[in-house]
Chain A
Amino acid sequence: MAEEVKLFGLWGSPFSRRVEIALKIKGVKYEYIEDDLQNKSALLLKYNPVHKKVPVLLHNGKPIAESLVLLEYIDETWEGNPNLPPDPYERAQARFWAKFIDEKCLPALWKALFGEESEQEKAMEEALQNLKMLEKELKDKRLFGGGGGGGGGGGEESIGLVDIAANFIAYWVGIIQEAVGAEILNRERFPVLYKWIDELLSCSVIRENLPPRDKMLAYFISRVQAAKASK
């Protein structure tokens, strides 16, 4: 049976883009279906009844949801350029930092940028602390890495689970900061993280799988305006 891979996603969603990056690194051919936010498609509700969210991958008719679950599934299913290393301890570390990003970094950043004014200061502090911890974890590595396929070669082989999971930090934060008029992430505060951002965005598989900057910026600006209007 010919293999059928479909991805339900959203052009602006970092979670959706994570999965696309992972599929592209492995060279997996897939059909992309853009979800309609206003009118959650019947298919999405069918394939992800629990969370009703993208991304959802349909592999030979069987659905899987949750981006980090998908990154591991993609690694297990398709050979070559793995995003997780073979050593169990290093795998545990990668999973730890990916979880840290999703459970701590992203919520704190989001709150610091979009939260209620009363919550913003505290969220800002937390976001800064979290980013500092990430920086510490990077140390002198060019990428969080852990991707198999040969050390130090750079490029697609070294991108790992954590690099992919941190895509929001590498790309979206900068855009949202501009839209909102805040500054959490900057080169002076986080020189090591910025080096990582430069390195990550220099990888073509990453760069080519990001939403266009002007379109993303326009989206966030309109969100900010809508929020102000409703006050």
Chain B
Amino acid sequence: MAKTDVKVLGAWPSPFVMRPRIALNLKSVEYEFLEETFGSKSPLLLQSNPVYKKIPVLIHQDKPICESLIIVQYVDEVWASGPSLLPSDPYDQALARFWAAYIDDKQWFPSVRGIALPQGEEGKAELMVQVFEGLALLEDAFDKCSQGKAFFGGDKIGYVDIALGSFLGWLKATEKMNNVKLLDETKNPNLVGWAERFCSHDAVREVMPETDKLVEFAKMLRARFKAPAS
């Protein structure tokens, strides 16, 4: 398939944008990455995602697909000859969907992001509790999903790995900016090992933003959108 048949609209700092890129990499699908300019939305974006006006958007043969995990499932189904991202067993598949939904719909990532924003100590402490609780659940989920193997998806990276792993860049940046350890070998040995394997994987390495770059980006955001005094 011609390279220009597949385009991803996105931006380098976004964890959600990483997801379709990892999926396409895993399937060895070539694609054109169209970077959105920070602070503005291109006409193509507004036209392709009129409902949310957000990245990522996958454009395949001129048809747009929106919402990162929906895109990942689409990639899995279209390029079915590549390694599968969702388990074939319906029950395992449901578990994978359940955990991906947990990661996205619940408080977890907003809590991580919230820690990075300026606020009082009490607010931060509360968010940290939420993050730790989430990590404890995910540590347990890893056991159930991996069944002793390297990834949530088993021997290879799968749906839940992509859903959670895409947040690792920001997790590390938050740790650095706040001088706090969120992912801890003593509390989350499974996840720590998994995180290392995930980040060093070929399909992930080139799209995972460097921690320092994210820290710089976060500082820029903070300065731009000065939060009101709490």
Contact = CB atoms under 8 A, between A and B. Distances in A.
Given A76-B90, A99-B70, A69 B97 contact: yes
B51 A100 contact: yes
Contacts of B91: 59, 62, 64, 73
B105 to A, nearest CB: 8
B67 interface: yes
A89 B71 CA distance: 10
B194 interface: no
A95 B66 CA distance: 10
Contacts of B105: 103
A62 B89 CA distance: 13
A204 interface: no
B129 interface: no
Nearest to A88: B77
Given A69-B94, A73-B90, A96-B67, A89 B101 contact: no
Given A66-B101, A100-B51, A92 B94 contact: no
Interface residues of B, number: 23
A72 B67 contact: no
B76 to A, nearest CB: 9
A50 interface: yes
Given A73-B90, A99-B67, A133-B51, A65 B74 contact: no
Contacts of B65: 89, 92, 96
Contacts of A95: 67, 70, 73
B102 interface: yes
A104 B203 CA distance: 33
A231 B99 CA distance: 38
A95 B73 CA distance: 10
Contact of B74 (A50, A66, A72, A91): A91
Nearest to B61: A89
Interface in A108-134: 133
Contacts of B137: 50
Contacts of B98: 64-66, 69
Contacts of A103: 105
Interface in B94-128: 94-95, 97-98, 101-102, 105
Interface string A52-83: 00000001001011101110110011000000
Given A50-B137, A77-B90, A100-B51, A92 B70 contact: yes
B74 A92 contact: yes
Interface in B28-74: 51, 60, 63, 65-67, 70-71, 73-74
**Counting chain A CB atoms within 10 Å of each CB, which of B60, B77, B78, B98 scores highest?**
B98
A196 B119 CA distance: 47
Given A66-B98, A69-B101, A72-B97, A92 B90 contact: no
Nearest to B50: A133
B90 A91 contact: no
Nearest to B97: A69
Contacts of A73: 90-91, 93-94, 97
Contacts of B70: 92, 95-96, 99
Contacts of B93: 72-73, 76
B101 A92 contact: no
A2 to B, nearest CB: 18
A65 B102 CA distance: 11
24 contacts: A50-B102, A59-B91, A69-B94, A69-B101, A72-B97, A73-B91, A73-B93, A76-B90, A76-B93, A77-B90, A88-B74, A88-B77, A88-B78, A89-B63, A91-B74, A92-B65, A95-B70, A96-B51, A96-B65, A99-B67, A99-B70, A100-B51, A103-B105, A133-B51
Interface of A: 50, 59, 62, 64-66, 68-70, 72-73, 76-77, 88-89, 91-92, 95-96, 99-100, 103, 133
| Nearest 7 Cβ contacts at the A-B interface | A76-B90, A88-B77, A73-B94, A92-B74, A69-B97, A77-B90, A64-B94
